[in-house]
Amino acid sequence: MTGTIASLADLARADACGRVVIKVGSALLVENGQPRREWLAGLAAEIATVRARGQQVIVVSSGAIALGAARLGLAKGGRGSLADAQAAAAVGQIGLGGLWAELLGHHGLTAAQLLLTLDDLEDRRRYLNASATLNRLLEAGAVPVVNENDSVATQEIRFGDNDRLAARVAQAGRADAVLLLSDIDGLYDRNPKDPSAQMIPLVRGVTPEIHAMADGGSGSGLGSGGMTSKLQAAEIAERAGIALAIINGTYPSPLARALDRDIGTLFVPRRRDSGRKAWLGGRMKIKGALVVDDGAAKALLSGRSLLAKGVREVVGEFARGDVVEVRSTGGAALAKGLAEYDAGECTAIMGRHTDEQAGVLGYAPRSAVIHRDQMVLL
Ligand code: GLU
């Protein structure tokens, strides 16, 4: 990160925002099963302007399912069943990638297609691999166009919405900011249909109050986003020190409208975890949980490792190295971290002092159940 992002206008400054992810949803891209070519051509022209300012761009584009469903004549926009969505995506992605390649090509820009599954970004090695590919593409001058690999992703292991995918891609691509193009100006403090609803221009930290403002569900019925998934994306981004903006994509030149006229909601990060911790914090698949007593909870918050002594309960089946959540006895999620023991071993040593553990385990215990270097506070 080279400068600080404090306003939407900063997102147009190469010194503050050298690398940006632009996420485009299905409702903006597809109308009646056909691509909205004219609008998309306008966005491609804006992306060329961003590039000409010296900023690198990664696009996260939805639309494969909506395009493919129309082509195959599938009901409910291809979202009636997982099998329909998978088939629709396989058909639609060809056209979607081609469209981006063509429209960016008009500006001398080379599009590069990347289809990722949730697991590609949850597994550390594959994540680093995707990260290296994105980096190389950007250095080589291409515009990566990313979508979820919907044809192979199954229900349990899919993002399902491209908002969170965009935030994870921003982490992997070491971007400074994410722009989520929505069908609304930004985040409102209550249902935007309420005439007294106010748009929130700046958010520092996605608190429970902020969550309460989003009502969930996708307005358009075409995509699967909605404000809830946008806030989840903002949380993933914030953990990695990445700014995120929700802006209205429905206008002909949406980037200029939002950034020049300061219309949208900007989420500014409060912290920047190390790359590894940010990846860990953004992980979405949790294998189990450790419920800890108040003393251990306090120790964690002051930056200490989690010791077996403070563990009260072990939830789920996990192996050493899996991501587990640390919870208070009241059920609040306190942290996420990599377990040093499998679930059975955790159960055997919980509540015990370090000097009692060797006898139970049959080998010298590790220094902690979750080491502080492998843990991120939530
Ligand atoms: N990946 C899906 C698609 O290309 C869209 C997911 C979403 O709605 O955000 O159609």
Classified as helix, coil or strand, 111 is strand
Report the amino acid identity of residue 186.
G
Instruction: Could you please state the CATH topology (level 3) that the domain comprising 8-279 is classified under.
Output: Carbamate kinase (3.40.1160)
Between the CA of 91 and the centroid of ligand 1 the distance, in Å, is: 13
- Is residue 150 within 6 Å of ligand 1 at its C-beta? yes
In angstroms, what is the span from residue 295 Cα to ligand 1's centroid?
44
Q: Which tokens is 188 given?
A: 């409102």
Q: Which fold has domain 286-377?
A: 2.30.130
d(CA 69, CA 79): 8
Task: Give distance in angstroms: CA of 112 to centre of ligand 1.
Answer: 18
Ligand 1 atom nearest the C-alpha of 67 is 10
Decide: 65 in ligand 1 pocket, CB within 6 A. Answer: yes
Of 224, 229, 232, the residue with max ligand 1 atoms within 8 A of its CB, to mutate for a pocket test, comes to 224
* pLDDT per residue as tens, the chain (378 positions): 446 899 999 999 999 999 999 999 999 999 999 999 999 999 999 999 999 999 999 999 999 999 999 999 999 999 999 899 999 999 999 999 999 999 999 999 999 999 998 888 888 889 999 999 999 999 999 999 999 999 987 766 677 789 999 999 999 999 999 999 998 999 998 888 888 889 999 999 888 888 888 764 444 444 445 788 899 999 999 988 999 999 999 999 999 999 999 999 999 987 666 777 777 877 777 889 999 999 999 999 888 999 999 999 999 999 888 899 999 999 999 999 999 899 999 999 999 988 888 888 888 788 899 988 888 888
What is the whole-number distance in angstroms between the Cα of residue 230 and the centre of ligand 1? 14
Distance 61 CA to ligand 1 centre (A): 8
Which residue is closest in CA terms to ligand 1's atom 5? 62
Burial 323-362 (b: 16+ CB within 10 A, else e): bbbbbbeeeeebbbbbbbbbbebbebbbebeeeebeeebe
Distances in whole angstroms, Cα of residue 261 to Cα of each of 8, 52, 159: 9, 20, 32
Residue of 61, 79, 148, 182 to mutate, ligand 1, most atoms within 8 A of C-beta: 148
The residue nearest atom 2 of ligand 1, judged by CA position, is 62
Please tell me the distance between residue 176's alpha carbon and the centre of ligand 1 in angstroms. Answer: 23
* C-alpha of residue 308 to centroid of ligand 1, in Å: 42
Q: Is 147 in the pocket of ligand 1 (CB under 6 A)?
A: yes
Residue 144 CB less than 6 A away from ligand 1: no
Tokens in use for 302?
């002051």
Burial class (CB in 10 A: 0-12, 13-18, 19+), 193: exposed
For residue 35, list its beta bridge partners. 30
Ligand 1 atom 6: residue of nearest CA? 161
CB 182 less than 6 A from any atom of ligand 1: no
For the chain, the domains span 8-279, 286-377
Q: Which helix (H) or strand (E) holds 147?
A: strand 142-148
Atom of ligand 1 nearest to the CA of 165: 9
Q: Is the CB of 78 under 6 A from ligand 1?
A: no
Residue 100 CA, ligand 1 centroid: distance in Å: 15
Q: What is the Cα–Cα distance from 135 to 142, expressed in whole angstroms?
A: 10
Q: Is the dihedral of CA 271, 51, 138, 91 positive or negative?
A: positive
**Which of 30, 161, 229, 232 best tests ligand 1's pocket when mutated (most atoms within 8 Å of CB)?**
161
Verdict on whether the full-model pTM lies above 0.75: yes
pLDDT at 218: 41
Residues 6+ apart with CB under 8 A from 70: 30, 32, 33, 34, 77
Cα–Cα nearest to 60, from 217, 152, 172: 172
Given this model, what pLDDT does residue 3 score?
60
Asked whether 229 and 187 are in contact (CB, 8 A), the reply is no
Q: Render 269-327 in DSSP notation, one character per residue.
A: -S----HHHHHHHH-----EEEEE-HHHHHHHHTTPPBPGGGEEEEES---TT-EEEEE
Q: Residue 162: CB within 6 Å of ligand 1?
A: yes
Q: 71 C-alpha vs ligand 1 centroid, how far in Å?
A: 16
What is the distance between the alpha carbons of residues 133 and 117, in angstroms, rounded to a whole number? 15
Which of 162, 156, 80 has the alpha carbon at shortest distance from 116? 162
Run of H or E residues at 338: strand 333-338
The conformation of residue 225, written as its DSSP 8-state character, comes to: -
Atom of ligand 1 at shortest range from CA of 159? 6
Handedness of CA 166, 169, 173, 174 (dihedral sign): positive
Residue (of 115, 211, 226, 236) closest to 161 by Cα position? 226
| Nearest-atom index, ligand 1, CA of 163 | 9
Please state, as a whole number, how many other Cβ atoms lie within 10 Å of the Cβ of residue 153. 22
